[in-house]
Amino acid sequence: MFDLPAVSTIAQTIQLAIAPVFLLAGIGAILNVLAGRLSRVVDRSRVLEQLHANSEGEEHQRYVRELRIVDRRMRLANAAIALIVASAIVVCSLVALLFITQLAGLAFRVAVAVAFVLGMVLLVAGLVLFLIEINLALSYLYVREELLEREERNWRRTHPK
């Protein structure tokens, strides 16, 4: 018959699992941010699609360029979400492995270590894609010179009322 582990063994296992559980909370927060960014990018693409249909000339080309960037941003955000979700799944598996290893007395130390490293690699890869998406968004984010009205603003500074 199967003997139940001692309470102290269960307590140790719970202590071992606390760090990965905190990691899961952080991953959840990152996923929330990424989902919010993806939602905003999708909303922007819908606006651009409407503007694109009613534009021509240089304005039309500007919308085409921005639509291409928005499309790339959506793909990057989606890939980052997929990698970070995979990381969360691996971390959940890690918690399960910790309990199985401790409670059943199995020697899965290598599997636990591999799961932790794999979870971190997936998380880092997702964060790198997130950083690329942010940089891509900022690379296109500029205010056209004609909208800044710099000459008028400078004239006001030198000629106060």
Q: What tens-digit pLDDT sequence spans the chain (161 residues)?
A: 456 566 666 676 677 678 888 999 999 999 999 999 999 999 999 999 999 999 899 999 999 999 999 999 999 999 999 999 999 999 999 988 888 887 777 777 888 889 999 999 999 999 999 999 999 998 877 777 777 777 655 555 665 65
Output the pTM of the full model.
0.76
Burial call 7-31: b when 16+ CB within 10 Å, e when fewer: eeeeeebeebbeebeebbeebeebb
